[in-house]
Amino acid sequence: MPDVVRVAVAGIVALLGGERRDLAEVGLDFRGVPEFNRRAYEVARAVSPGKTVTYGDIAHRLGMPGAAQAVGQAMGNNPFPIVVPCHRVLAAGGKDGGFSAHGGVRTKRTMLVIEGAIADEPTLF
């Protein structure tokens, strides 16, 4: 197995095992990915573990404030879920939105809990 793949797999396994990991260093081949999507994925990759942004935030960072829905579609077509952390991208108002990887929104919420972006269970404090 090539080293780049070994590093990616180890990082994903660690993250799904409960370790807070940033996979931004994992190299990706964006050939065949539309330019808008690639740019949206690059913005998403800059979001640190434990932080979240909205589709609208990414649209603004791209200089296209009216493109929140297009960002949502790009995240839904993400060919590299977890490595491009679309789980850190939420709908307006902090709502979950969707998640295209196995397990859907439940997996998205689990990953956000692992990363410390949301609480595991509702609390008063």
Tens digit of each residue's pLDDT, the chain (125 residues): 888 889 889 988 998 888 888 898 899 999 999 999 999 999 999 999 999 999 999 999 999 999 999 999 999 999 998 899 999 999 998 888 888 788 888 889 988 998 889 887 655 55
Among 26, 67, 86, 112, the active-site one is 86
Full domain range(s) for residue 77: 3-114
CA distance 7 to 23: 9
CA 15, 121, 49: angle at the middle one, nearest 5? 30
Rounded Cα distance, 73 and 52, in Å: 17
- In CATH, what number is assigned to the domain containing residue 35? 1.10.10.10
Q: Is residue 120 part of a domain?
A: no
For residue 119, tell me if it sits in a domain.
no
How many domains is the chain partitioned into structurally?
1
Respond yes or no: is residue 86 known to be catalytic: yes
Does 100 fall in a domain?
Answer: yes
Taking the model in full, what pTM does it have?
0.87
